[in-house]
Amino acid sequence: MTIDSAENLNAASPEPIDIRHLTTDQLAKLGVSQIAYVKPVMMNGSTAYAIHAADGTPMAVAGDRNLAIAAVHQHEMLATLVH
């Protein structure tokens, strides 16, 4: 199985690489601009939903799970729920 290398995401014709040979840096960048994680958190005594980039970078907090997912989709990303 091959995927496009993380360094070549913006290239016109990226060169495929074998995923078994990804570097740590390439693995860390994989999906960063396409996947966001949504997880429940406690904020001011009530449940809110934190949105994080694939690399763990906090992006936003929403008061409702559906709103958090909609915000992720609005930015053309895939939402993944984390418990």
> Looking at residue 12, what is its pLDDT?
56
> At residue 65, what is the residue type?
R
Chunked in runs of 10, what are the mean pLDDT values of the chain (83 residues)? 46 69 77 87 96 91 96 92 83
43: alpha, beta or left, given left = phi > 0 and alpha = psi -120 to 50?
A: beta
> Looking at residue 9, what is its pLDDT?
47
pTM here? Answer: 0.66
Chain-centre distance of CA 67, in angstroms? Answer: 17
> Looking at residue 50, what is its pLDDT?
97
> Looking at residue 2, what is its pLDDT?
42
Classify residue 72 as exposed, middle or buried by CB count within 10 Å of its CB (0-12, 13-18, 19+): buried
